[in-house]
Amino acid sequence: MTQPKKLFIKTYGCQMNVYDSERMAEALGGNGYEEVGSPDEADMILLNTCHIREKAAEKIYSELGRYKELKTAKPDLKIGVAGCVAQAEGEEIIRRQPLVDLVVGPQSYHRLPEMEAKAGKEKVIDTDFPEEDKFEKLRARPKAKRGPTAFLTVQEGCDKFCAFCVVPYTRGAEVSRPVSRVLAEARDLVERGVREITLLGQNVNAYHGEGPDGRDWSLARLIWELAEIDGLERIRFTTSHPNDMDDDLIDAHGRCSKLMPYLHLPVQSGSDRILKRMNRSHGRDSYLRLIERIRNARPDILISGDFIVGFPEETDEDFRDTMRLIEEVRYGQAFSFKYSTRPGTPAAERAQVEAAVADARLQELQALITRQQRAVQDAMVGREVGVLIERKGRLEGQMVGKSDHLHAVHLTADLTPGDLVRVKITESGPNSLGGTLVGAAAGVAASTAASTSVNTA
Ligand code: 5AD
Ligand code: SF4
């Protein structure tokens, strides 16, 4: 029997890239590859890249530079660049770094096996937006066992064209996968041990996949259908746009017990003036009213957001508006970024905010968010929450899982990954909660409770 070839994939950026890397590893499995954890032993290295900010994109070139020695020592080593940098820069990547053999954009991953076969003999580049359904052609090899959580891409691309963002160019126009395909993939994941699925899309709540009845189904309808799958205990989705948060989805948050009380709903800025310039097509007040409606439906929902500071022409007053919006919303989680100029986007042409000013704003904003996150986390102490156990902790007998609100929770109990349990939260550390086992949740045979412990690492 021939030895399997070794594939090392390094993934940058968002959760969709994590999902895509899994699909690519599976596809290359058909070419005789198995995944390994280090580039040193690899026959092929694939970087799955992110183009969202300049730093992320530039990282790729320094990483590629590190593989020079490996390639000299092993000339047959194939080096590929996938993801959004591949899409945005195409053959420019090979011009800048000739050791790259293969460049593949996110819409062409199903062609990767063919490309791999040619790579090494010639340079292979594919950054097309082909007609065929790449997901169908990227079907998982059946029945490999999985951990308790998984991502599932249901929608890809974006038609919103925010003035700062490369996604509409790198991921292309907004496309939704048909309902039957999503359900089949979800059932397959559950059979392989998955208990929690996070539905992915750049604008996941704009989902409008064709249903079995021939009509377009909304994300809410898809979620209700997924909730019927026995053994699938938790559903999440990310990332949402405020304008696509319809009544049915808000209602699902109120009534669908498998839909977890966590919503990532980026606003980017709290200033109407900047939101307009960002081409966000929603205002500050409409966002705040939306949050209120969501909280009316599901009072304990944890709201998460994204913020950009230092967007071109942002004044101090605009920034204060953002800070006031954050104060009002009380985020349980947020990601904040200094504006990064992206070639080809409308905002790249505009007057830039001084770097030192943007740095200071980012620091101030992050300090506020950290306080809010901590307050939301601390408020969990004394409450009983559902926890899906994911892995062993660092201490003897300790297990780690995620709460319904996506907090990391540590507890010492005789449990295995995949157990869904009720935990009484007793401690709140900087990055995680600690608790004691109360009992099994929904049909899980859990064992006896033991002591509390918070991992503060
Ligand atoms: N500069 C800084 N942050 C950006 N984001 C998107 N484009 C840029 C950019 N040019 C942020 C947004 C988005 C998140 C994924 O990345 O906040 O929601
Ligand atoms: Fe980018 Fe805006 Fe589309 Fe989100 S909605 S992917 S920020 S263009």
**pLDDT at residue 451, as a whole number:** 34
Q: What distances in angstroms separate CA 345 from CA 134, 325, 336, 427, one per listed residue? A: 27, 26, 20, 45
Q: Among the atoms of ligand 1, which is closest to the Cα of residue 338? A: 2
Residue 165 Cβ inside 6 Å of ligand 1? The answer reads yes
Query: Using alpha carbons only, what angle is made at residue 165 by residues 259 and 363, rounded to the nearest 5 degrees?
Result: 80
**pLDDT at residue 142, as a whole number:** 59
Quick check: pTM over 0.85?
Answer: yes
**Residue that has been written with the tokens 């948050």 in this structure:** 253
What's the CA gap between 401 and 419, in Å, rounded?
A: 9
Residue 166 has pLDDT above 50, yes or no: yes
Q: Kindly indicate the confidence band of residue 1, based on its pLDDT and cuts at 50, 70 and 90.
A: low
Residue 143 has pLDDT above 80, yes or no: no
CA of residue 420 to ligand 1 center, whole Å: 34
Kindly state which CATH superfamily the domain 135-378 is placed in. Answer: tm_1862 like domain (3.80.30.20)
CA of residue 158 to ligand 1 center, whole Å: 14
Mean pLDDT, the chain, as a whole number?
A: 93
Task: Tell me the one-letter amino acid at 341.
Answer: T
Q: Which residue, 31, 235, 197, 208, is CA-closest to 117?
A: 31
What's the CA gap between 457 and 454, in Å, rounded?
A: 9
Kindly state which CATH superfamily the domain 384-450 is placed in. Answer: Nucleic acid-binding proteins (2.40.50.140)
Residue 355 Cβ inside 6 Å of ligand 2? The answer reads no
Could you state, in order of their start, the residue ranges of all structural domains in the chain? Answer: 5-126, 135-378, 384-450
CATH number belonging to the domain at 5-126, selected among 3.40.50.300, 3.40.50.12160, 3.40.50.1000, 3.50.50.60? 3.40.50.12160
Q: Kindly indicate the confidence band of residue 134, based on its pLDDT and cuts at 50, 70 and 90.
A: confident
Contacts of residue 114, defined as CB under 8 A and 6 or more positions apart, other chains included, come to none
Residue 219 Cβ inside 6 Å of ligand 2? The answer reads no
Query: Taking the CA atoms of the chain, what radius of gyration do you get in angstroms?
Result: 23
Residue 450 has pLDDT above 50, yes or no: no
Task: Tell whether 256 is in a known binding site.
Answer: no
Tell me the pLDDT tens digit for each residue of 228-242. 999 999 999 999 999
**pLDDT at residue 440, as a whole number:** 81
Tell me the pLDDT tens digit for each residue of 351-374. 999 999 999 999 999 999 999 999
Residue 303 has pLDDT above 80, yes or no: yes
**Pair 118, 124: CB distance under 8 Å:** yes
**Pair 109, 26: CB distance under 8 Å:** no
Ligand number, closest to the Cα atom of 170: 2
**pLDDT at residue 410, as a whole number:** 98
What's the CA gap between 22 and 147, in Å, rounded?
A: 13
Q: Kindly indicate the confidence band of residue 131, based on its pLDDT and cuts at 50, 70 and 90.
A: confident
E strand segments, 312-419: 333-338, 384-392, 398-403, 408-412
What's the CA gap between 191 and 281, in Å, rounded?
A: 41
Residue 80 has pLDDT above 80, yes or no: yes
Task: Tell whether 162 is in a known binding site.
Answer: yes
Q: What burial letters (b/e) apply to 391-423, b meaning 16+ CB within 10 Å?
A: eebeeeebbbbbbbbbbbbbbbbebebbbbbbb
